[in-house]
Amino acid sequence: MMILRNVSRVLLLAGLALLTFPLGLFAQPLQPVSLQLRWLHQFQFAGYYAALHKGYYREVGLDVTLKEGGPSADPVADVLAGKSDFGIGVSSLVIDYLKGKPVLLLGPVFQHSPNILVVRGLNQRPDALASPGARTPKIALMKGDQDVELKAMFLNEGIALDKLQFVPDERHLEDFLDQRVDAMYAYVSNEPFVLDKLGVPYTILKPQTYGMDFYGDALFTRKELETSRPEVVAAFLDASMRGWHYALDHPREIIDLIMEQYNGQKKSREHLAYEARELNLLINHEVIEIGHNNPGRWRHIADTYAKLGMIKPGLELAGFMYDANPPPPNLKRLYTYMGAVSIVMILVSMLAAYIHRINARLRQDAVELNRSGTALRESEERHRNLFMDSPDAYLIIVDGVFVDCNRATEIMLCGDRTMIIGQPPCNVLTSLMKTKPVCPAYLPSAC
């Protein structure tokens, strides 16, 4: 019994191995893709951490690498150069698109931009940064057009950009605390917490206050990727949005994850919780679907940039926003083709029906002809039997020669029918007179 039980166990394990072997053999390899973040790891990118560690990316066949950003990061340049497949941008993506860069907006995570300008001192205004004096205040911004809405804030207040001194945001908060810069680009969910803890007086300048209520942290890719691998783009977007839903619904779990694996900035749990609360207000996922695109709002953003002279007015946004459910193609040509094919099929059907009727009629005629031929053959057979079995001698003459004779004639000729078949009557009768007595009265006059 023990031996049988062990054998059964071995067979069971072998069976399971055979069942699982083909699954591993034919499993599709994960497709590697990368995401370029805008800044250093923090709760700002919680949705992507969740999608990665909860297995959402793997479920859709993707092996995702998250590339940390920083002051020198330029996601648009990296994605367009093919260094990264996806990136996190801001509302200035519309400027990139209208300037001819092949960016494709997938969806904004933040319905309101978290971008702010932090200015040293209390109760500061935008014009204070352009005040004439011995020293022009320094404003630290990220390179490129990533902070366009902050620049637009000044333009909307009538302050020319050439009156301001913009410098690269190199050491960020360190430069601000050491008074190397007077204002800096910041996130409403990050730097204010640190400054409050340090007791540093500051003023927040929000673009929304000056008519610049833009989107924030928009997921994007390049058009070539969507054209060549649309399934990858759709899968990455879907898994990322699922990750954001999970992160916002389970902030403590994701904060634990960040503390363990993504806390290069050494943020406290309190700081990450503050960040999660502030960003949740900007996302508002309980009311608005994460990643929702409002074409009218993007049109307003583009018009605002155009009014500020940053782009030409009236440019079209068609093709800027990703459409997971594109409208059906124009089927007019297809319908025309199908109509023509239908007409041809009707004509072919009519021709086939006509040919079928002709064939049926020919088959009927063939049947009738066959019946007539059979009757004729039967009639000929009856007449031939009467001809051959007649007790009187009969011969058949065609074109002046004997072609046939009945049995009575053969008997009279002693069975030698070759004497007459194919011979004219005169020759036959003359020959017969030589061999047998024949009454002259039977001789034809021609003889």
Lowest mean pLDDT among 124-133, 282-291, 427-436: 427-436
Residues 191, 200: Cα–Cα separation, whole Å: 11
Beta strand 183-187 pairing with 115-120: antiparallel
CB contact at 8 A, 50 and 44: no
> Which phi and psi angles does 251 have, rounded to 5°?
-60, -35
- Give the pLDDT confidence score for residue 334 in this predicted structure: 57
Query: Among candidates 192, 96, 206, which has minimal Cα distance to 153?
Result: 206
Helix axes 269-283, 230-249, angle to 10 degrees: 120
Between the CA of residue 240 and those of 217, 235, 246, 291, 327, what are the distances in Å? 13, 8, 10, 10, 24
- The CA angle 374-380-385, to the nearest 5 degrees, is 125
Residues 129, 280: Cα–Cα separation, whole Å: 31
Residues 447, 438: Cα–Cα separation, whole Å: 13
Bridge partners of 186? 116
pLDDT tens track for 111-165: 999 999 999 999 999 999 987 665 789 999 987 767 888 998 998 888 998 899 9
At residue 282 the predicted structure's pLDDT band, cuts being 50, 70 and 90, is: very high
DSSP annotation of 203 reads E
Looking at the chain, the whole-number percentage of residues with pLDDT higher than 70 is: 84
Taking residues 272-300, what's their average pLDDT? 94
At residue 310 the predicted structure's pLDDT band, cuts being 50, 70 and 90, is: confident
pLDDT tens track for 357-369: 888 888 887 777 7
Taking residues 425-447, what's their average pLDDT? 58
- Give the pLDDT confidence score for residue 133 in this predicted structure: 64
User: Who's near 3: CB < 8 A, 6+ residues apart?
Assistant: none
- Helix, strand, coil share of the chain (percent; to 5): 50, 15, 35
Residues 39, 74: Cα–Cα separation, whole Å: 10
Q: Coil, strand, or helix at residue 374?
A: helix
Structure-block tokens of residue 41: 């790891």
- Give the pLDDT confidence score for residue 192 in this predicted structure: 97
- Give the pLDDT confidence score for residue 335 in this predicted structure: 65
Mean pLDDT for the chain overall: 84
Taking residues 70-77, what's their average pLDDT? 90
Residue for token digits 């092949």? 102
Q: Coil, strand, or helix at residue 225?
A: helix
Q: Coil, strand, or helix at residue 406?
A: coil
- Give the pLDDT confidence score for residue 332 in this predicted structure: 60
- Give the pLDDT confidence score for residue 116 in this predicted structure: 95
pLDDT tens track for 216-267: 999 999 999 999 999 999 999 999 999 999 999 999 999 999 999 999 999 9
